[in-house]
C-alpha cells in the first residue's frame, strides 16, 4: 500500500455515535449510570462469593473472575468514551489507543477461555458427579484461571506487537467509540496484510477453540440430562447451567460476528452496535442473569442483606484445601 502522507499520525479521532449528538446530555447520563451499575453489581457478585461459604464452589470461583473481567474491560472503553462524548472531543493519542486496544483485547480473550472453563466445570458436575470433587479441585480451578489469563494476555500482546508496528498517516478518524482492531487496521498506510492475517488467525484460535470446548461440553450435558428419568431432576440439572449457557450465547454470537472474519468486509456502523452488546450490555446483564436464574446466589444475596453478622461467620466455614462440589 502506498503511503498517504509522510507524517506519522500521533493522534486519532474517535467518531463515536454522531447520531446521538443532539441527545448528548441524556445519553451521557444513560452511559454513566450503566457504567456505575455494571461496576457495582459485579463488585456485589465478587463480594458475595468471597464472603459466603455456600458459594465456595468452582462454578462461583470462575464467576468471580468473570465479574472481575467485566469490571475491567468495560472500564477500558466507557470512561474514555464518556469523557470524549461529554467534552465533544473524540481525540485519543496513539499510545492511548494502543493501550486501550491491548487491554480490551486481553480481557475479551481471557473471558473467551474462562467461559469454556466454566462450561467444562458444568460438564463435570452433571456428567461426572461422583468424580467432581477429584476433577475440580481448588488447584485445578486455579490452573484453569491462570491459563485463561495467560492465554488472553499473550494473544493480545502478539496482536498489538504487529499492529503497533504499522505506520498511520493521513486519515486519522476511527469510525468507532473505542480503539478496536478492525477500524484501527483500516487507517494504516503501510502494508497491513501480515498484521491482519495474524489478527484473524489468533481471533479464530482464541474464539473457536473455547467455543468448541463449550459446544462439546453442552452437547454431552444435554445428552446426560435427556437420560435422566425424573422430570424434576432434569429441570434441576439444566438450571445449574442455564445461566452460563445464556451468557455464552450472547457473548460468542457478538464476538464471532466482529472478530472471526476478514476485516475488509466490516460494516462499521453495524460493528459499533454489535460491539456495544459485549462491551456494555453483556457486562451489565451478566450479574442479573446469574442472580435471577441461580437460587444459591439469590439466597446468598438475601442473607447478606438480612444477616449483618454473616461476614464474621464466613471465615470459620470456608475450606482452605479444596472447594466444595
pLDDT recorded at residue 324: 56
Please state, for a pLDDT cut of 90, what percent of the chain lies above it.
28
Nearest alpha-carbon partner for 237 in 226, 249, 248: 226
What pTM value is reported for the model? Answer: 0.84
Domain ranges of the chain: 11-314
Quote the Cα angle for 163-167-172, to 5°.
95
Average pLDDT over residues 19-40: 83
Read off the C-alpha cell for 139. 488447584
Residues 153-165: tens digit of each pLDDT: 999 999 999 988 8
Q: Which CATH architecture has domain 11-314?
A: Up-down Bundle (1.20)
Helices (H), the chain: 24-51, 58-87, 94-127, 132-135, 138-163, 181-185, 193-226, 231-259, 268-276, 282-292, 295-306, 310-314
Q: Is 88 exposed, middle or buried (0-12, 13-18, 19+ CB in 10 A)?
A: exposed
Residues 81-112: tens digit of each pLDDT: 888 878 777 788 888 989 999 999 999 999 99
pLDDT at 319 over 50: no
Quote the Cα angle for 274-145-303, to 5°.
85
Residues 269-309: tens digit of each pLDDT: 666 777 777 788 888 888 888 776 666 777 777 776 676 54
Mean pLDDT of the chain: 81
Amino acid at each position: 500500500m502506498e503511503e498517504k502522507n509522510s507524517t506519522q499520525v500521533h493522534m486519532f479521532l474517535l467518531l463515536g455515535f454522531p447520531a446521538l449528538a443532539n441527545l448528548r446530555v441524556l445519553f451521557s447520563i444513560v452511559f454513566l449510570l450503566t457504567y456505575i451499575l455494571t461496576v457495582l453489581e459485579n463488585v456485589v457478585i465478587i463480594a458475595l462469593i468471597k464472603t459466603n461459604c455456600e458459594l465456595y464452589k468452582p462454578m462461583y470461583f470462575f464467576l468471580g473472575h468473570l465479574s472481575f473481567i467485566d469490571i475491567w474491560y468495560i472500564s477500558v472503553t466507557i470512561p474514555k468514551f464518556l469523557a470524549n462524548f461529554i467534552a465533544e472531543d473524540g481525540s485519543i493519542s496513539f499510545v492511548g489507543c494502543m493501550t486501550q486496544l491491548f487491554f480490551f483485547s486481553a480481557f475479551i480473550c481471557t473471558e473467551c477461555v474462562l467461559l469454556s472453563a466454566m462450561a467444562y466445570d458444568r460438564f463435570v458436575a452433571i456428567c461426572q458427579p461422583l468424580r467432581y470433587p477429584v476433577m475440580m479441585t481448588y488447584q485445578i480451578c486455579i490452573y484453569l484461571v491462570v491459563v485463561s489469563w495467560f492465554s488472553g494476555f499473550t494473544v493480545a500482546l502478539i496482536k498489538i506487537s504487529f499492529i503497533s508496528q504499522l505506520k498511520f498517516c493521513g486519515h486519522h478518524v476511527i469510525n468507532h467509540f473505542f480503539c478496536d482492531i478492525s477500524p484501527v487496521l483500516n487507517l494504516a498506510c503501510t502494508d497491513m496484510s501480515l498484521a491482519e492475517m495474524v489478527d484473524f488467525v489468533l481471533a479464530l484460535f482464541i474464539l473457536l477453540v473455547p467455543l468448541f470446548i463449550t459446544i462439546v461440553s453442552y452437547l454431552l450435558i444435554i445428552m446426560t440430562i435427556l437420560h435422566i428419568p425424573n422430570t424434576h431432576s432434569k429441570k434441576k440439572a439444566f438450571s445449574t447451567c442455564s445461566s452460563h449457557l445464556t451468557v455464552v450465547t450472547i457473548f460468542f454470537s457478538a464476538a464471532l460476528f466482529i472478530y472471526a472474519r476478514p476485516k475488509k468486509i466490516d460494516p462499521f456502523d453495524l460493528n459499533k452496535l454489535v460491539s456495544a452488546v459485549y462491551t456494555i450490555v453483556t457486562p451489565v446483564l451478566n450479574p442479573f442473569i446469574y442472580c435471577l436464574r441461580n437460587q444459591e446466589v439469590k439466597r446468598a444475596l438475601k442473607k447478606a442483606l438480612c444477616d449483618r453478622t454473616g461476614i464474621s461467620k464466613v471465615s470459620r466455614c470456608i475450606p482452605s484445601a479444596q472447594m466444595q462440589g
